[in-house]
Amino acid sequence: MNPLLQKFDTAPFSQIKEEHYVPAIKELIDFTKKEIDAIADSSEAPTFENTVEALENTGMQLDRATSVFFNLNSAETNAEIQKIAQEVSPLLTNFKNDLLLNETLFKRVKTVYEQRNDLPLNGEQQMLLEKQYKGFARNGADLSEEKKDKLRALDTELAKLKLTFGENVLAETNAFEMHLTHEGDLAGLPSGAKEAAAQVAKEKGKEGWIITLDYPSYIPFMKYAENRELRKKLSLAFGSKAFQDNDRNNEKNVLRIANLRHERAQLLGYETHAHFILEERMAETPGNVEAFLNELLEKARPAAKKEFDELEAYAQKLDGIDELQKWDSAYYAEKLKQERFNLDDEKLKPYFKLENVIDGVFTVSEKLFGLQFEQDDTIDAYHEDVMTYKVKDSEGVLVSIFYADFHPRPGKRGGAWMTSYKPQQIKNGVNDRPHVSIVCNFTKPTESKPSLLTFNEVTTLFHEFGHALHGMLANTTYKGLSGTNVYWDFVELPSQVLENWCYEKETLELFAKHYETGELIPMEYVQKIKESATFHEGMQTLRQLSFGMLDMAWHGADPSTIENVKAFEEKAFAKTKLYPDTPRTCMSTAFSHIFQGGYSAGYYSYKWAEVLDADAFDYFKQEGIFNKKLATKFKETVLSKGGTIDPMELYVQFRGKKPNPDALLKRAGLI
């Protein structure tokens, strides 16, 4: 019996075998097609209920099965799962196109849409109708048959290319290891990082130490290792992922993806891919995004240049470095930061034991939103590292199921993300609660130490947990408008705003306790965390802007004349460049956010949402960071409403006014 074809509540991971995926997905596609045909071919006149709402309720089991599959392809993949992904992706793309290009169905939706002003619809129903209608209209429902066939071909190829892109990046990350056998090569490295490197070597059956491209291994080496040549070697390996002369090179994939996206946008009547994407964003147009990025660039560049010159002079004074290179940046910045603030990750890490930080984020959620987290090991998980919880409200009513997966392993892509295994919706009077997961790549425990987080990892955990709260506290009728189903440049508000709590004394006192002595983090450390929060903020801002500008360069103009990925990238980076170029490295070939994830023409949204989050947290600072009334207002206007109301309207409901960009610039110390 195929577990993916049975009705299930929590995902039955332990029962699912790889051979179950393809038959289940094929059968569920066929079943959903029948559901859709029944709506399209109905002899009844189209109404909101028999067309729009009915369509929203199709494909429930298919969504559940595919969410299990694609989440595992990101968090616990292997060669077999990757092969299945290449097989099922085109099937799902074709299915989606069959739906969006179904003329009969579109006619029914359009009929309801044209009557919308005369129908007794509430705000959420209007939003669902609008979203559904635009889904068809923006994705080719009005195209001729010939153009529809063209669109299908483009989408199928795109789906496969994005998978290949991601597989290449993961394979390149796993393929590299720097095997060190002389202890002197690890000079400067903290004991925890050395022990972790020894553990990796031991797991691989080798003597000595192994440094990899996984963040918990890569970052400490770049920050602390005194051996400049080895830092260079590691930096070049990291920067040349999928840019080497081998069969994992992504240059052709990048060019092809950019061109296919452009072709698709033109086919649908848009000037560029960015024009297509931004029509459904708060920013609205590429011009607005470019103006926004350039305005921030104008403010950040002088500060960044000053910080860079100061860092270069510091490296010259300390070690006679004539020209600061990319592999020097983290090393000398860390030294300068220690000198200036007498604070570094090694001093802080003992206070950030992973389990304590988890308790901390749970306590913050309880104080703000009244949530209780009960660990429940009876919930099936896909790997022994995954922690499972029941989340309840103050009355003991189930709010959500929560999965947390924290450590790197070969089958897991890099970075950190939030995802979902089951959406929230209200159906037949029952509020069906969501199943939410966060996936990170934090330092693993060693034989002598638990998992101790850097402060950066603490903020990452809070960030992803902010997304999780957006999913958990969802309270809408329709799954398509629930939780994180919001405009992409609004989705980062809940995640980024929660990071702010990490810097506050009141929060740190809840969980920042020494893992051996239980002693609370010294208050001078808390003060220094705050003071050092804007250290090199100019350079950090410039870096984020450079990624946003690269994204817009790829997607905001016709890419058909681009021949050389590296040369094109250099041109896009020109306004934000500080370091000498490294010819053997390339960002685009491993820029998974935009070529594999959902951030194409959307990377700017991190900065966009920072404006919202700085302004929103400013409000909390005024009222008290654990002010229950304000937290409830944030929950009711932002976290629970999903995409049922225009995001700017939601923001104004919460804040009482539109966001003020000065709050961000002030927080960053740029004004």
**Residue 32's CATH number:** 1.20.1050.40
Provide the residue range defining the domain that includes 291. 258-341+534-631+645-671
- Tell me which residue has tokens 């597989």: 167
Q: pLDDT tens across 35-86, in order?
A: 999 999 999 999 999 999 999 999 999 999 999 999 999 999 999 999 999 9
Q: pLDDT tens across 250-281, in order?
A: 999 999 999 999 999 999 999 999 999 999 99
Average pLDDT score, the chain? 96
Given the residues 167, 346, 464, 492, select the one marked as catalytic. Answer: 464
d(CA 285, CA 291): 10
The tally of domains found in the chain comes to 4
Confidence class for position 669, pLDDT limits 50, 70, 90: confident
- What's the confidence (pLDDT) of residue 662? 83
pLDDT, mean of residues 602-631: 96
pLDDT, mean of residues 532-547: 95
- What's the confidence (pLDDT) of residue 666? 85
The angle subtended at Cα 186 by Cα 180 and Cα 187, nearest 5°, is 150
Q: pLDDT tens across 103-146, in order?
A: 999 999 999 999 999 999 999 999 999 999 999 999 999 999 99
- Give the relative orientation of helices 537-555 and 251-267 as an angle to the nearest 10 degrees: 60
Residue 334 placed within a domain: yes
For residues 215 and 272, state if they share a domain.
Answer: no
Q: Is the pLDDT of residue 467 over 90?
A: yes
For residues 34 and 119, state if they share a domain.
Answer: yes
d(CA 49, CA 55): 9
For residues 354 and 325, state if they share a domain.
Answer: no
For residues 43 and 68, state if they share a domain.
Answer: yes
Report the SS3 class of residue 548: helix
For residues 225 and 263, state if they share a domain.
Answer: no
pLDDT, mean of residues 387-395: 97
For residues 336 and 357, state if they share a domain.
Answer: no
Q: Amino acid letter at 309? A: D
Residue 572 placed within a domain: yes
For residues 361 and 317, state if they share a domain.
Answer: no
Q: Is the pLDDT of residue 344 over 90?
A: no
- Please say whether the beta carbons of 176 and 212 come within 8 A: yes
Domain end point (choices 95, 123, 142): 142
- What's the confidence (pLDDT) of residue 506? 96
Q: Give the CATH number for residue 462.
A: 1.10.1370.40
H or E segment to which residue 103 belongs: helix 103-114
Domain end point (choices 483, 514, 545): 514
Residue 520 placed within a domain: no
H or E segment to which residue 236 belongs: helix 228-239
- Tell me which residue has tokens 């994180």: 484
pLDDT, mean of residues 242-248: 97
Q: Is the pLDDT of residue 660 over 90?
A: no
- What's the confidence (pLDDT) of residue 671? 79
Confidence class for position 586, pLDDT limits 50, 70, 90: very high
For residues 30 and 72, state if they share a domain.
Answer: yes
Choose among 342, 341, 335, 347: nearest CA to 452: 347
- Please say whether the beta carbons of 154 and 260 come within 8 A: yes
Residue 164 placed within a domain: no
Residue 407 placed within a domain: yes
H or E segment to which residue 283 belongs: none
For residues 670 and 556, state if they share a domain.
Answer: yes
- What's the confidence (pLDDT) of residue 670? 82
Q: Give the CATH number for residue 555.
A: 1.10.1370.10
For residues 102 and 185, state if they share a domain.
Answer: no
Residue 519 placed within a domain: no
Torsion of CA 269, 275, 279, 284, to 10 degrees: -150
Residue 636 placed within a domain: no
Residue 638 placed within a domain: no
For residues 308 and 363, state if they share a domain.
Answer: no
Is 339 in the active site?
no
For residues 197 and 114, state if they share a domain.
Answer: no
To the question of pTM greater than 0.85 for the whole model, the response is yes
